[in-house]
Amino acid sequence: MLELCHWIDNNKFFMALNSSTFFSVVLEVSHYFSMMMIVGCMGMVDLRILGLAGRKQNLTDVAEDLMPWMWIGVIVNAISGILMFCGEATAYWLSGPFRIKMLLIIVAIIFGAAVNKNAPKWGRQPSISAGVKLVALISMLLWIVTILAGNEVPAISGTG
**Residue range 74-120, pLDDT digits in tens:** 999 999 999 989 988 888 888 888 888 899 999 998 988 888 888 88
Cβ neighbours, 10 Å, residue 108: 23
pLDDT for 115: 87
Question: Within the chain, what is the greatest distance between any pair of CA atoms?
Answer: 58
Q: Provide mean pLDDT across the span 8-12.
A: 89
Task: Assign 158 a pLDDT band (cuts: 50, 70, 90).
Answer: low
Could you tell me the pTM of the whole model?
A: 0.83
C-alpha pair distances (Å), 107 with each of 6, 94, 124, 148:
28, 21, 26, 15
Q: Cα separation of 111 and 104, whole Å?
A: 11
- Given a cut of 90, whether residue 6 has pLDDT beyond it is no
For 26-58, how does the pLDDT look when each residue is reduced to its tens digit (9 = 90+)? 998 999 999 999 999 999 999 999 989 878 888
- Given a cut of 80, whether residue 159 has pLDDT beyond it is no
Q: Cα separation of 96 and 49, whole Å?
A: 34
127 burial via Cβ count (<10 Å: 0-12, 13-18, 19+): exposed
Q: Are 111 and 142 in contact (CB under 8 A)?
A: yes
What are the residue boundaries of the structural domains of the chain, listed by start? 2-157
CB within 8 Å of 91: residues ≥ 6 apart: 157, 158, 159
pLDDT for 113: 87
The H or E element spanning position 86 is none
